[in-house]
Amino acid sequence: MTITSNPPQVRDDLLCSDQQQQQSDLQIEKPPEAAPASLGAPGRVLSIDTRVEQAWAHWKKLGRPKYIVAPMVDNSELPFRLLCQKYGAQAAYTPMLHSRIFTETDNRNKEFTTCEEDRPLFVQFCANDPDTLLEAAKKVAPYCDYVDINLGCPQRIARRGNYGAFLMDNLPLVKSLVEKLAQNLTVPVSCKIRIFPNLQDTLNYAKMLEDAGCSLLAVHGRTRDEKDGKKFRADWGAIKEVRNALRIPVLANGNVRCIEDVEDCIKETGVEGVLSAETLLENPAVFAGFRTAEWAKDNEGEGYVDGGLDQGDLAVEYLKLCEKHPVPWRMIRSHVHKMLGDWFRVHPQVREQLNAQNILTFEFLYGLVDQLKELGGRVPLYKKRKIDTLQESPQKDLES
């Protein structure tokens, strides 16, 4: 086979930079000076009261983030996290890292990069072996605020690999994973779960995680079988019950399309904060109060106006962040598709150019945005007209 027969995704696995540029991000073999926040000495089993107290102290020290970027394979990587942070996100999860592969790969793992501004940060792993998980977790502990266990992935690959939501069939194993980290790591352990069809099963599960040493729980309010987020609404009622049953901080996930959904979710469930995934991919400025046309249209009566920002602007900002913090091209390709999706629907021939491009370059991608702008049909992001709402929005440094 010749190199020209490689499918685009193989070339897309290459980093969008040379080695020199990579040096600007933290390398995982060089721990930062400051010691990470600790939940007690490794190896010590603390009482539940002490653990709950420490879990809250840690959460408060982080500033109790409400607006959080959910973990997304190939999509919640460093440049995207930084873009969302600029537009109001107050914390973020890395994409899921596979704990075994992470321990077997060279430390300069291109799937995990971070930098000083990239905090608070949850680094998420999938795992089914406590020792392997601990080994992987120790490598990232100096760079994050939580090591998170993915207990929610419902995909076939997770079934085959026996991780994610398929560990819901083996709760003793889940318990051993959480205990291993909680007793041996200086950074707190968090978990992200899906709900069971039966509420009491969900509550027993959540309680077991808390008892095992989980310091923060994110609950995606859909079951393992409810894979399609557009088809199945997340069950905020179940999330509220979990929040009321637990003593540690709880986060909610599901049904967030705009900033008002975040506030409604917090009010309805009593959670500390909300994770958003799919909405952020199209509109990384959602936490700053911006809406895509789809969600502004539904509420025309409320007076949505052009917010002075569009997805083309966001795509350019994202590309600049990628130049500074290199990631594999496949991640960039995926974001460009999602961020410019509304524009591609107006000008499908430009999308075809992107699809035909096996080897991406920044020059090509900036040119793509320019081309869309020149073709016209700009699709703005909208904001509420009311002055008080604009002032309340968490938009950060937009003028800079």
Give the residue numbers marked as catalytic.
Answer: 153
Q: Specify the pairing of strand 97-98 against strand 121-126.
A: parallel
Least Å from the CB of residue 366 to ligand FMN: 24
Binding of ligand FMN by 224 (CB under 6 A): no
Residue carrying structure tokens 């942070």: 85
When binding is defined by CB under 6 A, the residue of 229, 324, 350, 396 that contacts ligand FMN is: 229
Nearer to ligand FMN, 86 or 338 (CB): 338
Q: What's the closest the beta carbon of residue 71 comes to ligand FMN, in angstroms?
A: 4
The type of residue at 110 is K
Return the number of the residue (44 or 233) whose C-beta is nearest ligand FMN.
Answer: 233
Nearer to ligand FMN, 279 or 395 (CB): 279
Shortest spacing between CB 341 and ligand FMN, in angstroms: 13
- Residues 39, 73, 133, 165: which binds ligand FMN (CB under 6 A)? 73
Residue 167 engages ligand FMN in binding (rule: CB under 6 A): no
228 burial (CB, 10 Å; 0-12 / 13-18 / 19+) is exposed
Q: Which of residues 74-103 bind ligand FMN (CB under 6 A)?
A: 75, 95-96
String of DSSP letters for 336-380:
HHHHTHHHHHH-HHHHHHHHH-SS--HHHHHHHHHHHHHH----E
Q: Which is nearer to ligand FMN, 94 or 395 (CB)?
A: 94
Check residue 330 for interaction with ligand FMN (CB under 6 A).
Answer: no
Segment interacting with ligand FMN, rule: CB under 6 A, options 239-247, 253-261, 262-270, 347-355: 253-261
* 192-221: contacts with ligand FMN (CB under 6 A): 192, 220
Structure tokens at 268: 């309805």
Piece in contact with ligand FMN (CB under 6 A), picked from 27-35, 104-112, 271-279, 325-333: 271-279
Q: Does residue 150 touch ligand FMN according to CB under 6 A?
A: yes
Determine contact, residues 366/319, Cβ cutoff 8 Å: yes
Choose, by CB under 6 A, the member of 278, 313, 358, 379 that binds ligand FMN: 278
Shortest Å distance, C-beta 348 to ligand FMN? 22
Nearest alpha carbon to residue 67 among 400, 399, 392:
392
- Chosen residue from 68, 70, 182, 212 binding ligand FMN by CB under 6 A: 70
- DSSP alpha helix (H) spans, the chain: 8-12, 19-22, 48-61, 78-86, 99-104, 130-140, 156-161, 171-184, 199-212, 236-245, 259-269, 278-282, 293-297, 311-324, 329-339, 341-346, 348-356, 362-375, 387-392
What phi and psi, each to the nearest 5 degrees, are found at residue 370? -60, -45
Cβ neighbours of residue 224 closer than 8 Å, sequence gap 6 or more: 154, 165, 166, 168, 194
Joined together, the tokens standing for residue 130 give 């406590």
Q: Give the footprint of ligand FMN on this chain (CB under 6 A).
A: 70-73, 75, 95-96, 124, 150, 152-153, 192, 220, 229, 253-254, 256, 276-279
